[in-house]
């Protein structure tokens, strides 16, 4: 059946024949049904578990809701308040944007560089990959706070090193000018996650391509630029999108280490939102903040998606 | 590809990788070292990685847990939840990703948009409505709210990841299989899945990591101490009011890294093999 | 290869089956999961009775004979959890028909879980409440009035003096909770350090005396010394400060502030000057110690520390030096600002259907001597005079110091303010942010006062 359909499409140039149109339609319908069947686990999960809560949060963003009693409808008040009369909203947006735009490129750069380095097939790579990945494991653990304070605190290792160089150290986490940088370093330090996605991507590049290149006498750099990089673009694209979104959502590390301080210098958006929702019990306000964030991230994501047709190369789609 | 006369570059490579590796792992070594120190030495003698006196008491005290329920229970609970979530995620995310990457169905763009949108909404916001939903089904204080979603597509992150990898697989392979009489599902099982191995390994590693480290959902859904996971157990050492037991906390934190470490050490070979031995067969 | 594919298919079917089973049996599976996974305290088959509190329908008329389950939630650290669970075991032995399901976490996460449970109509039967949250929950009708249960004898309050209970009683006579222990704000002092520098601050000493003492030590020591430790409790300190001026932080109606602008400017000025002149630890050093779980006072890097009395038990445990308690500094010609805080109450939630069993539980914790021996006054000095006297003979060290302190402070006490209004946590947040800008020298006391008062009024309206 499938075979016949294929032949119809391939061999006959499309004469505007009713019969064929009907068959095409039927085939599209069949393919649609197959598609729905295949993604049905997600469809079920989305409609049963996810969509309801999302719509609920959208509704709540137009209410005054303290979790402890029923929500009351207040229209656009939350949105108006956030956008026109909340200085901490601005503070948190700025902190978040700085964080995202500094940490994401650097993290990806480290991840890509190390992944490529580890892909040269030298001895002991597995061991080193594990070492470099370990920082990611500790990511959400409560211990990260004490460990990080030990590094960047007043009597921490960083200051010890600076001392030995004759430079006076400072309390990196407790200083409003440096606290944000400390968190940025922390997140870059955890570049292991995108790194292993890059490694998986490198694994997937067909070896024939490299063999062909070496037959052509291409050098290392040329091979990297002509083969590795283009073939890796779908994964780079993925990492870029997800790390950007993840950056906007960053919560745990900041919550555990700085709680937004000192002086709101690390008040990331998700942290502020959480504070509103669970500490001050203003869930309606927090929901509105979430939807504003959604719009902001969506815009940035769409921009990245739009540019992707220029630089992301899909083997299955025969190029750009 | 690899040049044989590269001894110098090898030396530079190893010096760099070892030096930088030490910087990477220093905080972890500090944590493990400190978990073996008595409480007064943890911060008093912070600079030293090696304890002045080796003390296993923190492990014994930490392992006991709280009120008769110890870390054996927490580890078992975390293991149950995490294993099931990993299995669910791998199975459901891979098939769903295949559907999105390879099959044309109506409203695909819209549905993909929905998929992405769910990543962009902070979890903290949908938590309460979801709690109410699960409470009405009677699932609060069970593992189901943590596990079942994984079987229904799991995190969109994984679906999107696998979509990207599937799009990197040449379509000719599918078509060849279809000509051989494979169904769409057959293509998935026989062509896509085997080629997706490296990506699936990353899914396993991440799904494990995120579930193992998750705090908020277990906190809210698991009320009984006998259902607590490791993350909740760890957090119970910290209390602003009663003071934090750093020794046991660091000891149990070090221990809680162990399963992930083993998992990664086992799976990394699928990610870092010599170039010549892998790729499309 | 073929083998693998076969395996994959089989696995897939297995999993689909598994999900189906889970979905199908979800409704009544939850209690079974409990039995499977929680061998420890679910050995009693009756646990499935009221696991979620929502199947309590059939035992709502619970007599003495009928088996009931109550859920009890509290926060704390490792020792408190252990002690409380031990106490619960004692309770269960005394009342074999009542099973207690403990739900404990650390302070971090406790309120998140509780508010989620409130939203889901799934609060535990008994909740450990904090003074600062009592109004929040009570004003939403989430707490049961305990007066009827006291009246019909389920909770015996005969031995509890009013000063330990007043704060838990609303204006209309509703009893919102019963305190698990009382404490009072105070100054923890490093006695060794003060003695070494020949400083003796008798109750009645002033803020200036205190600041002078800090300078005196600062001038005479070569070691690292930070002076006074605010302990991140500037807001509490201002409660006392305002009371000493005959004012209060919140107005009695709870819809605005109850102090004059000048009072706060003065207070802020004092805080800022102390930090700038190094009579008090800077903000980053203070937070460094707090987040690190260390005590500046215990290490001898600070001489005095703003704290709640029961917290010196923890400080003393980690210090070789002798730690004592002193009353808050006073203002010349000012009023008494201290007050006894019956903190950490047990309340019964309105989602509970087991009022009587819950009441028995609270009564047990309030009056039973053996239980209080186990609990070691860790949550504060017991509110029942009988229990207090009994324990006073047993406890030693820092715990004994807290007992003595509560007697001492009584002479420097004025009646407690009414409970803080529902927006307190947000007002506190605003206060702490403003104090931070002060301590980092980014605002003048006047600017800080302006900003705080504006924000607070907007929140309380």
Interface confidence (ipTM) of the complex? 0.86
Residues A212 and A261 in one domain: yes
Residues A54 and A82 in one domain: no
**Confidence band for A89, pLDDT divided at 50, 70 and 90:** very high
Residues A164 and A42 in one domain: no
Q: How many domains does one find in chain C?
A: 2
Chain B residues with CB under 8 Å of A50 CB are 118, 126
Residues C121 and C209 in one domain: no
Q: Are A120 and A114 in contact (CB under 8 A)?
A: no
**Confidence band for B205, pLDDT divided at 50, 70 and 90:** very high
Domain assignment present for residue B152? The answer is yes
Chain A residues with CB under 8 Å of B188 CB are 38
Q: Which of A174, A275, A278 has the CB atom closest to C288's CB atom? A: A174
Domain assignment present for residue A2? The answer is no
Residues B245 and B273 in one domain: yes
Report CB contact under 8 Å: C15, B131: no
Report CB contact under 8 Å: B209, A196: no
Domain assignment present for residue A68? The answer is no
pLDDT at B243: 65
Task: Work out how many CB contacts closer than 8 A connect A with C.
Answer: 67
| Residue in chain B lying closest to A297 (CA) | B120
Q: Inform me whether the C-beta atom of residue B125 falls under 8 Å from chain C C-beta atoms.
A: no
Residues B128 and B222 in one domain: yes
Chain C residues with CB under 8 Å of A179 CB are none
| Residue in chain C lying closest to A71 (CA) | C119
CATH number at residue C232: 3.40.190.10
Residues B17 and B121 in one domain: no
Report CB contact under 8 Å: A263, C433: yes
Report CB contact under 8 Å: A201, B165: yes
Residues C357 and C421 in one domain: no
Residues B25 and B143 in one domain: no
Domain assignment present for residue A94? The answer is yes
Residues B40 and B125 in one domain: no
pLDDT at C95: 93
Residues A113 and A19 in one domain: no
Domain assignment present for residue C119? The answer is yes
Residues A81 and A146 in one domain: yes
pLDDT at B273: 64
Chain B residues with CB under 8 Å of A224 CB are none
Residues B196 and B234 in one domain: yes
Instruction: Among A262, A266, A275, A285, pick the best mutation site for testing chain C contact (most C Cβ within 10 A).
Output: A262
Instruction: Among B241, B244, B248, B252, pick the best mutation site for testing chain C contact (most C Cβ within 10 A).
Output: B241
CA distance A165 to chain B (A): 16
CATH number at residue B193: 1.10.3720.10
Residues A80 and A39 in one domain: no
Examine the pLDDT at C198 and tell me if it is beyond 70: yes
Residues C191 and C290 in one domain: yes
Residues C166 and C201 in one domain: no
pTM for the whole structure: 0.86
Residues C145 and C290 in one domain: no
Residue-number span of the structural domain to which C288 is assigned? 184-341+410-460
pLDDT at A248: 94
Report the share of chain A in percent with pLDDT over 90.
Answer: 45
Residues A55 and A106 in one domain: no
Q: Which of B67, B91, B152 has the CB atom closest to C102's CB atom? A: B67
Residues C115 and C148 in one domain: yes
Q: Which of A262, A263, A280 has the CB atom closest to C429's CB atom? A: A280
Residues C190 and C319 in one domain: yes
Q: How many domains does one find in chain A?
A: 2
Chain A residues with CB under 8 Å of C436 CB are 261-263
Chain B residues with CB under 8 Å of C309 CB are none
Instruction: Among B30, B61, B65, B67, pick the best mutation site for testing chain C contact (most C Cβ within 10 A).
Output: B67
CATH number at residue A208: 1.10.3720.10
Q: Which of A67, A69, A171 has the CB atom closest to C284's CB atom? A: A171
| Residue in chain C lying closest to B215 (CA) | C109
Q: What is the mean pLDDT of chain C?
A: 83
DSSP label at A73?
Answer: E
Domain assignment present for residue B42? The answer is yes
Residue-number span of the structural domain to which B179 is assigned? 66-277
> Domain boundary residue among C381, C401, C421?
C401
Chains with ≥3 CB–CB distances under 8 Å to C: A, B
Residues B171 and B126 in one domain: yes
Residues A233 and A263 in one domain: yes
Higher pLDDT, C259 or C30: C259
Residue-number span of the structural domain to which A220 is assigned? 76-317
Residues A229 and A156 in one domain: yes
Residues B42 and B83 in one domain: no
CA distance B89 to chain C (A): 11
Q: What is the mean pLDDT of residues B190-202?
A: 90
Residues B26 and B80 in one domain: no
Residues A112 and A53 in one domain: no
Report CB contact under 8 Å: A207, B160: no
Q: Inform me whether the C-beta atom of residue B131 falls under 8 Å from chain C C-beta atoms.
A: yes
Q: How many domains does one find in chain B?
A: 2
Residues C336 and C348 in one domain: no
Chains with ≥3 CB–CB distances under 8 Å to B: A, C
Residues C352 and C452 in one domain: no
CA distance C31 to chain A (A): 22
Residues C214 and C272 in one domain: yes
Q: Which of B167, B202, B254 has the CB atom closest to A316's CB atom? A: B167
Chain B residues with CB under 8 Å of A35 CB are 99, 103-105, 108
Residues B47 and B160 in one domain: no
Examine the pLDDT at B155 and tell me if it is beyond 90: no
Domain assignment present for residue A215? The answer is yes
Residues B32 and B95 in one domain: no
Residues C263 and C331 in one domain: yes
Residues B132 and B174 in one domain: yes
Examine the pLDDT at C412 and tell me if it is beyond 80: yes
Domain assignment present for residue B1? The answer is no
Interval B206-252: pLDDT, tens: 999 999 989 889 999 998 888 999 998 888 887 766 667 788 888 99
Examine the pLDDT at C378 and tell me if it is beyond 70: yes
Interval A99-117: pLDDT, tens: 999 999 999 999 999 998 8
Residues A143 and A276 in one domain: yes
CA distance A93 to chain B (A): 15
Q: Inform me whether the C-beta atom of residue B89 falls under 8 Å from chain C C-beta atoms.
A: no
Domain assignment present for residue A66? The answer is no
Task: Work out how many CB contacts closer than 8 A connect A with B.
Answer: 320
Task: Work out how many CB contacts closer than 8 A connect B with C.
Answer: 179
Q: What is the mean pLDDT of chain A?
A: 86
Domain assignment present for residue A270? The answer is yes
Residues C267 and C372 in one domain: no
Interval A17-50: pLDDT, tens: 778 888 888 888 888 888 899 899 999 999 988 9
């Amino acid at each position: 059946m499938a075979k016949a359909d294929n032949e119809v499409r391939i061999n006959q140039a499309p004469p505007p024949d009713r019969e064929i149109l009907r068959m095409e339609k039927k085939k599209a319908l069949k393919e649609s049904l197959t598609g729905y069947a295949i993604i049905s686990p997600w469809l079920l999960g989305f409609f049963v578990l996810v969509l309801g809560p999302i719509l609920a949060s959208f509704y709540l963003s137009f209410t005054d809701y303290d979790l402890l009693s029923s929500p009351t409808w207040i229209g656009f008040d939350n949105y108006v308040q956030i956008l026109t009369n909340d200085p901490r909203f601005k503070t948190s947006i700025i902190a978040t944007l700085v964080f995202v735009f500094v940490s994401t490129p650097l993290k990806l750069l480290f991840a890509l560089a190390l992944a490529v380095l580890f892909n040269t097939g030298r001895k002991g790579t597995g061991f080193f990959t594990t070492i470099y990945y370990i920082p990611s494991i500790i990511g959400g653990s409560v211990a990260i706070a004490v460990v990080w304070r030990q590094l960047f605190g007043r009597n921490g290792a960083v200051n010890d090193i600076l001392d030995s160089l004759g430079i006076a150290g400072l309390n990196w986490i407790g200083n409003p000018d440096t606290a944000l940088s400390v968190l940025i370093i922390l997140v870059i330090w955890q570049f292991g996650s995108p790194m292993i996605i890059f490694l998986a991507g490198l694994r997937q590049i067909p070896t024939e391509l490299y063999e062909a290149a070496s037959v052509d006498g291409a050098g290392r750099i040329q091979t990297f630029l002509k083969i590795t990089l283009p073939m890796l673009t779908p994964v780079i694209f993925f990492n870029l999108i997800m790390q950007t979104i993840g950056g906007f959502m960053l919560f745990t590390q900041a919550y555990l280490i700085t709680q937004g301080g000192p002086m709101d210098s690390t008040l990331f958006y998700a942290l502020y939102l959480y504070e509103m929702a669970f500490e001050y019990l203003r869930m309606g306000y927090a929901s509105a903040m979430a939807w504003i964030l959604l719009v902001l991230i969506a815009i940035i994501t769409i921009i990245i998606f739009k540019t992707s047709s220029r630089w992301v190369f899909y083997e299955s789609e025969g190029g750009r | 590809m690899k040049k044989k006369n590269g001894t110098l570059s090898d030396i530079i490579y190893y010096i760099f990788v070892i030096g930088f590796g030490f910087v990477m792992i220093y905080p972890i070594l500090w944590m493990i070292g400190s978990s073996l120190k008595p409480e007064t030495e943890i911060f008093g003698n912070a600079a030293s990685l090696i304890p002045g006196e080796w003390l296993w008491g923190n492990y014994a005290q930490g392992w006991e847990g709280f009120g008769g329920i110890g870390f054996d229970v927490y580890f078992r609970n975390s293991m149950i939840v995490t294993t099931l979530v990993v299995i669910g995620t791998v199975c459901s995310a891979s098939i769903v990703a295949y559907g999105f990457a390879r099959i044309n169905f109506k409203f695909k763009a819209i549905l993909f948009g929905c998929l992405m949108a769910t990543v962009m909404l902070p979890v903290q916001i949908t938590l309460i409505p979801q709690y109410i939903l699960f409470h009405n089904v009677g699932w609060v204080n069970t593992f189901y709210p943590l596990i079942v979603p994984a079987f229904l597509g799991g995190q969109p992150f994984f679906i999107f990841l696998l979509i990207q990898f599937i799009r990197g697989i040449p379509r000719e392979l599918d078509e060849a299989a279809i000509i051989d009489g494979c169904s769409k599902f057959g293509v998935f099982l026989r062509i896509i899945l085997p080629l997706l191995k490296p990506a699936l390994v990353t899914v396993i590693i991440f799904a494990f990591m995120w579930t193992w480290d998750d705090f908020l959902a277990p906190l809210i859904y698991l009320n009984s101490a006998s259902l607590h996971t490791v993350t909740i157990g760890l957090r119970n050492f910290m209390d602003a009011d009663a003071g934090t037991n750093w020794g046991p906390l660091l000891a149990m934190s070090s221990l809680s890294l162990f399963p992930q470490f083993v998992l990664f050490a086992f799976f990394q070979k699928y990610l870092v093999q010599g170039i010549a031995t892998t790729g499309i067969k | 290869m073929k083998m693998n594919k076969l395996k994959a298919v089989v696995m897939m079917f297995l999993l689909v089956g598994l999900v189906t089973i889970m979905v199908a049996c979800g409704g009544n599976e939850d209690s079974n999961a409990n039995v499977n996974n929680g061998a420890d305290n679910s050995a009693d088959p009756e646990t499935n009775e009221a696991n979620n509190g929502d199947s309590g329908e059939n035992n709502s008329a619970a007599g003495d004979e009928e088996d009931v389950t109550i859920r009890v939630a509290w926060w704390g650290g490792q020792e408190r959890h252990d002690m409380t669970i031990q106490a619960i075991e004692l309770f269960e032995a005394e009342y074999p028909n009542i099973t207690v399901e403990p739900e404990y976490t650390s302070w971090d996460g406790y309120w998140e879980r509780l508010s989620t449970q409130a939203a889901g109509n799934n609060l535990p039967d008994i909740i450990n409440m904090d003074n600062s949250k009592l109004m929040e929950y009570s004003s939403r009708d989430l707490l049961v009035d305990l007066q009827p249960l006291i009246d019909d004898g389920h909770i015996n309050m005969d031995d509890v003096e009013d000063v330990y209970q007043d704060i838990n009683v609303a204006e209309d006579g509703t009893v919102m909770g019963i305190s698990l222990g009382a404490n009072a704000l105070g100054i923890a002092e490093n006695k060794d350090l003060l003695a070494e520098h020949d400083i003796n601050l008798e109750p009645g000493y002033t803020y200036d005396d205190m600041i002078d003492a800090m300078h005196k030590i600062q001038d005479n020591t070569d070691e690292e010394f930070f002076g006074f430790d605010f302990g991140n409790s500037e807001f509490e300190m201002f409660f006392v400060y305002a009371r000493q001026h005959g004012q209060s932080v919140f107005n009695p109606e709870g819809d605005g502030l109850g102090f004059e602008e000048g009072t706060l400017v003065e207070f802020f000025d004092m805080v800022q000057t102390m930090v700038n002149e190094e009579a008090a630890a800077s903000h980053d050093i203070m937070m460094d110690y707090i987040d690190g779980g260390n005590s500046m006072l215990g290490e001898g890097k600070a001489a005095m520390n703003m704290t709640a009395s029961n917290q010196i038990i923890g400080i003393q445990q980690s210090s070789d030096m002798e730690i004592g308690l002193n009353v808050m500094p006073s203002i010349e010609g000012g009023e008494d600002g201290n007050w006894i805080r019956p903190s950490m109450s047990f309340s019964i939630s309105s989602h509970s259907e087991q009022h009587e069993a819950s009441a028995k539980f609270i009564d047990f914790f309030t009056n039973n001597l053996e239980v209080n021996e186990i609990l070691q006054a860790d949550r504060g000095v017991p509110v029942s005079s009988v229990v207090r006297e009994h324990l006073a003979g047993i406890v030693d060290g820092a715990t004994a110091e807290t007992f003595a302190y509560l007697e001492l402070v009584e002479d420097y006490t004025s009646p407690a303010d009414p409970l803080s209004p529902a927006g307190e946590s947000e007002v506190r947040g605003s206060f702490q942010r403003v104090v931070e800008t002060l301590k980092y020298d980014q605002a003048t006391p006047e600017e800080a006062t302006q900003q705080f008062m504006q924000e607070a009024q907007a929140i309380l309206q």
